[in-house]
Amino acid sequence: MSSYDVIIIGSGPGGYVAAIRCAQLGLKTACVEGRDTLGGTCLNVGCIPSKALLHASHMLHEAEHNFAEMGLKGKSPSVDWKQMLNYKQSTIDTNTKGIEFLFKKNKIDWIKGWATVPEAGKVKVGDEVHEAKNIIIATGSEPASLPGVEVDEKVVVTSTGALELGKVPKKLVVIGAGVIGLELGSVYARLGSEVTVVEFLDAITPGMDPEVQKTFQRMLKKQGFKFIMGAAVQGTEASKTKAKVTYKLRKDDSEHVIDADVVLVSTGRKPFVDGLGLDKLGVEMTKRGQIAVNDQWETSVKGVYAIGDVIEGPMLAHKAEDEGMAAAEVLAGKHGHVNYGVIPGVIYTHPEVANVGETEASLKEAGRAYKVGKFSFMGNARAKAVFAGDGFVKILADKDTDRILGAHIIGPSAGDLIHEVCVAMEFGASAQDLAMTCHAHPTYSEAVREAALACGDGAIHM
Ligand code: FAD
Ligand code: NAI
C-alpha cells in the first residue's frame, strides 16, 4: 500500500493543475486517471480537438471567402478529412504527452485505472488501495442525455463522436444552440455540411447579452446556419446512415420531422461521479447532481475535496484549473481563492464571442445603476482591414463609481481581448482607467479602449 499527502482523481484541467500545484508546494502527490492518456475531457475530447478542427476549417473558409479579394487567386484547397483528423489527433497527442512530461518533472505518480473511494483517506484502484491524507475528486462531466434520443456515436452523436465522424455529413442537425452546437456546427458548416440547429429557447447561447445573441445569430445565418427556434426535440430515429429528428414548436405545439445524416446532441453536460462510491461514503450532492462543497472545496466528508465540472459553476477548463490551484493551496496550508465574479467565457467561432462579469439583465435584477460603453469594430481600422468589422465591444460600468462590472465582445480575437477587462476587473479598475491606458495602433484592443471611452465623454472613432 502506497501513501500520499494527496491523491487526485481525474487528470483533466482541474485534476492535473491541482496535482502540479500540490507537488510544487511540497506535497507527495498522485493522480488517478482511467483514460489511456492524461488531460481529461479538455485535452482528449473537448477544448483542444475542437479548437484544432475550428482552426483548420477556418483556414478553408478564409481561402474560399477572402483570399481572392486580397489578390490571392487560385483553386481553393479541397478537404482531406482523414488528414484533418490526423492533424487533430497530433494536437491531442502533443498536449496529453505534455502533461505526462509535467507529471514526471514534478514527481507526480500517475496511478492508471478507475478509482473508488471506499472511505476517507483511501483510494482503491483495481485491487490496490492507496492511502492519502486528502483526496481531491476532479472527475469532470459527461454529455447529458435527452429523452427519446439514443446516442450511437456514429449517426446520433455527442461532441465526442462529432470530433471523429467517418466523413463530413451532408446534412447535420444540431440539437441545442449552446457552445458545443455552435462551435462544432461551425466546423461542419465551413466544411460544406448543411447545418440546422434546433433550439428549445427563442435565443441562442442562453444567458448571454441579448445584443450579442442577436448579432451572433445573424452572423451564423450568414455563414449558412439554419435555425429552428422555440422547438423542443421529442426524439430521434436512426438507421445505420441516416436519422430523423422530431421536434415540437412551442408556439403552437405542432410536430415536425427533419432528416439528417448526422445528429449532434449538445444539450448540456452533467457531472460524472459513476463508480466513485460517493453514496456509501456519504458525500452530499446538490439537487443538480453536483458534489456539494464549501468555500474551501471540501465536501461534507472531511479530507475529501472536489473541483471542476463535478461541482457547481460554469463547466469551463479555466474554472476547473483555478479551483485546482486554489484547492492545492488550501491543502498546503495557504490561502486558496477563486474570484467567481471574473471568470471569462469564450466561444471560439468566427468571430469569437467572449464575456465576463455582469450582464445588463443581472444588473437590472440586482437594481444596480449602470452605464453602457459600446464600440463597433467598424470603427477599428485593423478589424476593417481583415474583413472583421462586424461585431462590437460593450463595457458595463457602475453609474456612479465608473467601476467596470462586465464586458461582452463579439468580434476578432474576442477571446483574447476579454482578458484586458478581466485584469482591470481584478484590480477594481474604472472604465476611465482602461480608457486612459495607451493602446497600440492598429490593434483590435483599441476597440476595448474605445468602449471604455464611451462610458465617459465618448469614443473617438465613432
Ligand atoms: P475533465 O476534463 O472532464 O476530466 C476528468 C477526468 O477524470 C477524465 O479524464 C476522466 O477519465 C477521469 N475520471 C473520471 N472518473 C474517474 C475515476 N473514477 N477514476 C479515474 N479517473 C476518472 N472549456 C473551456 O474552458 N474552453 C473550451 O474551449 C472548451 N471546449 C470544450 C469542447 C467540448 C467538445 C467539450 C465537451 C468541452 C469543452 N470545454 C471547454 C469544457 C471543458 O472540457 C471542461 O470544463 C473541463 O475539461 C473540466 O475539467 P475537469 O478537470 O473538471 O474534468
Ligand atoms: P449548453 O448548455 O451550452 O447549451 C445547451 C443548449 O441546448 C441550450 O441552448 C438549451 O436551451 C438547448 N436545449 C436543451 N434541451 C433541448 C431540447 N430538448 N431541444 C432543443 N434544445 C434544447 O450545452 P453544450 O453546448 O452541450 O455545452 C456543454 C458545456 O460544455 C457548456 O456548459 C460549456 O461550459 C462547455 N463548453 C465550453 C466551451 C467553451 O468554453 N468554448 C466549448 C464547448 C463546451
Cβ of 270 below 6 Å from ligand 1 = no
Digits of tens for pLDDT over the chain (462 positions)? 789 999 999 999 999 999 999 999 999 999 999 999 999 999 999 999 999 999 999 999 999 999 999 999 988 899 999 999 999 999 999 999 999 999 999 999 999 999 999 999 999 999 999 999 999 999 999 999 999 999 999 999 999 999 999 999 999 999 999 999 999 999 999 999 999 999 999 999 999 999 999 999 999 999 999 999 999 999 999 999 999 999 999 999 999 999 999 999 999 999 999 999 999 999 999 999 999 999 999 999 999 999 999 999 999 999 999 999 999 999 999 999 999 999 999 999 999 999 999 999 999 999 999 999 999 999 999 999 999 999 999 999 999 999 999 999 999 999 999 999 999 999 999 999 999 999 999 999 999 999 999 999 999 999
Are 377 and 450 a contacting pair, CB within 8 Å? no
- Angstrom distance (rounded) from CA 407 to CA 405: 7
Domains 3-143+270-331 and 156-267 share a fold: yes
pTM of the model: 0.98
Cβ of 317 below 6 Å from ligand 1 = yes
Ligand 2 atom nearest 314 alpha carbon: 34
Arch. (CATH architecture) of 3-143+270-331: 3-Layer(bba) Sandwich (3.50)
Are 133 and 8 a contacting pair, CB within 8 Å? no
Residue with CA nearest ligand 2 atom 15? 267
> 252 forms bridges with which residues in the sheet?
none
Ligand 2 atom nearest 179 alpha carbon: 25
Residue with CA nearest ligand 2 atom 3? 178
Cβ of 346 below 6 Å from ligand 2 = yes
Distances (CA, A) of 90 to 86, 94, 325: 6, 6, 28
Q: Any idea which ligand is nearest the CA of 163?
A: 1
Cβ of 184 below 6 Å from ligand 2 = no
- 318 catalytically annotated: no
- Grid cell locating 426: 481584478
Q: Delimit the domains of the chain by residue range.
A: 3-143+270-331, 156-267, 345-454
Cβ of 276 below 6 Å from ligand 1 = yes
Residue with CA nearest ligand 2 atom 40? 346
**3.30.70.100, 3.30.390.30, 3.30.70.1450, 3.20.20.80: CATH of 345-454:** 3.30.390.30
- Angstrom distance (rounded) from CA 395 to CA 451: 6
Distances (CA, A) of 400 to 31, 403, 426: 49, 8, 19
CB contact set of 158 (below 8 Å; sequence gap of 6+): 143, 151, 264, 265, 266
First to last CA, the chain: 68
Arch. (CATH architecture) of 156-267: 3-Layer(bba) Sandwich (3.50)
Pocket test of ligand 1: the residue of 31, 139, 278 to mutate, having most ligand atoms within 8 Å of its CB, is: 139
Nearest partner of 140 among 156, 160, 154, judged by Cα: 160
